DNA sequence: TATTGTTATACTCTATAACTATA
DNA sequence: TATAGTTATAGAGTATAACAATA
């Protein structure tokens, strides 16, 4: 049997599976999912971004980004404003979106806490620093 | 704006997004996906497991596990054998499955390498050890 | 009664391709 | 010609609910 314990991709996938499952549970009462919260966070960090820019930030294409915005708009969390370029839409959080985001982040923080329980403060900082180092930060949408 | 840099869940999701994207590219020529490889690995680690047990190991339900086995069987990578309990199927890798798995793991190793490039040997071991510590290892399917 | 596999159906998230309107 | 948004369609991966066979 192959030594899966040493496969970074496999281990990360297993961890993500668990984190995602817990996040999904935590977000269920909001009618949200991890993918939607991620989109919401990117929009919050880049108010007025276009749908195409949002897609680039999330590594998804225009059509998929539009569907996400549709879902968030239906939930009343974001709105499409007119942009300088009349072809584009400027996507921004509504007041309800800002409020909801705070509640969701707190719910996610609790879900993360359950996962991170085995780690002390230093180990958590090290882990976060390492992940940040590896991750191409796709939160710039402009 | 909320400090997303310090949100473990958000950072992990972003990292997973990138790792998954590269893994998907690497597996494309095999007609495989990360989810299918994970299932294949669990089956390889637990030869003769039932579909329900596979589902438990992957945190998915029976119906979804059956679909995965169907896909892997169609690709000729696994086979359903008769189990002690005639209600169940014993799922095992075929010879082709074992061969293909080696090639896939090598392809994934290369994809991981591209992500891990910023880390030295020690940092990689630390990261892997930490992830293993957090991850409830769902690779026991029996 | 409980469990295994199965089928049917549906939802989320992604993709591609083609269309429109504007640049 | 290129770009932003849209629509239609499709596929992967998940879920629930109900069914047959077996324990």
Q: Which helix (H) or strand (E) element contains residue B19? A: helix B8-27
Q: What pLDDT score does B3 carry?
A: 55
Place of tokens 């539009």: A66
What are residue B78's DSSP bridge partners?
B93
Q: What pLDDT score does A42 carry?
A: 94
**CA–centroid distance for B135 within its chain:** 13
Q: What pLDDT score does A139 carry?
A: 47
Are B37 and B4 in contact by the 8 Å Cβ rule? The answer is no
When scoring B1, B5, B7, B11 by the number of chain A Cβ atoms within 10 A, the one with the most, hence best to mutate, is B11
Q: What pLDDT score does B140 carry?
A: 52
Q: How many CB atoms lie within 10 A of CB A81?
A: 11
Q: Which residues in chain A have Cβ-Cβ distances shorter than 8 Å to B15?
A: 12, 131, 134-135
Q: Which helix (H) or strand (E) element contains residue B60? A: none
Are B38 and B77 in contact by the 8 Å Cβ rule? The answer is no
Q: How many CB atoms lie within 10 A of CB A13?
A: 21
- Per residue in B49-73, pLDDT (tens digit) is 999 999 999 989 999 999 999 999 9
Q: Is A78 exposed, middle or buried (0-12, 13-18, 19+ CB in 10 A)?
A: buried
Are A54 and A141 in contact by the 8 Å Cβ rule? The answer is yes
pLDDT over 90 at B19, yes or no:
no
Per-residue pLDDT of chain A (142 residues; tens, 9 = 90+): 355 667 888 888 888 888 888 898 899 889 899 999 999 999 999 999 999 999 999 989 999 999 999 999 999 999 999 999 999 999 999 999 999 999 999 999 999 898 899 999 999 999 999 998 887 654 455 5
- Distance CA(B2)–CA(A57), nearest Å, equals 17
Q: What is the mean pLDDT of residues B31-39?
A: 94
Q: What pLDDT score does A140 carry?
A: 52
Contact A19 B7 (CB under 8 A): no
Contact B123 A130 (CB under 8 A): yes
Distance between the alpha carbon (CA) of B43 and the C1' atom of C3, Å: 21
Shortest alpha-carbon distance between residue A47 and chain B (Å):
10
Nearest nucleotide relative to B88: CA against C1'? C4
Chain B residue with minimal CA distance to A126?
Answer: B127
What are residue B89's DSSP bridge partners?
B82
Q: What pLDDT score does B6 carry?
A: 73
56-75 in A: which are within 8 Å (CB) of B? 58-59
Q: What pLDDT score does B14 carry?
A: 82
Q: Which residues in chain A have Cβ-Cβ distances shorter than 8 Å to B123?
A: 130
- Per residue in B84-115, pLDDT (tens digit) is 999 999 999 999 999 999 999 999 999 999 89
DSSP characters over A68-87: HHHHHHHTTSEEEEE-SSTT
Chain B contact for A142, CB < 8 A? no
* Model-wide pTM > 0.75: yes
């Amino acid at each position: 049997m192959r030594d899966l314990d040493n496969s970074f991709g496999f281990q990360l996938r297993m961890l993500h599976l668990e984190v995602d499952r817990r996040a999904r549970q935590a977000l269920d009462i909001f009618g949200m999912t991890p993918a939607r919260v991620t989109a919401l966070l990117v929009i919050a960090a880049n108010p007025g971004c276009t749908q195409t820019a949002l897609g680039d930030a999330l590594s998804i294409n225009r059509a998929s980004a539009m569907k996400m915005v549709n879902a968030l708009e239906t939930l009343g969390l974001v709105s499409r404003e007119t942009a300088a370029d009349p072809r584009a839409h400027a996507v921004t959080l509504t007041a309800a979106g800002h409020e909801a985001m705070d509640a969701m982040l707190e719910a996610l923080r609790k879900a993360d806490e359950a996962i991170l329980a085995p780690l002390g403060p230093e180990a958590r900082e090290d882990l976060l620093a390492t992940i940040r180092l590896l991750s191409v930060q796709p939160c710039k949408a402009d």
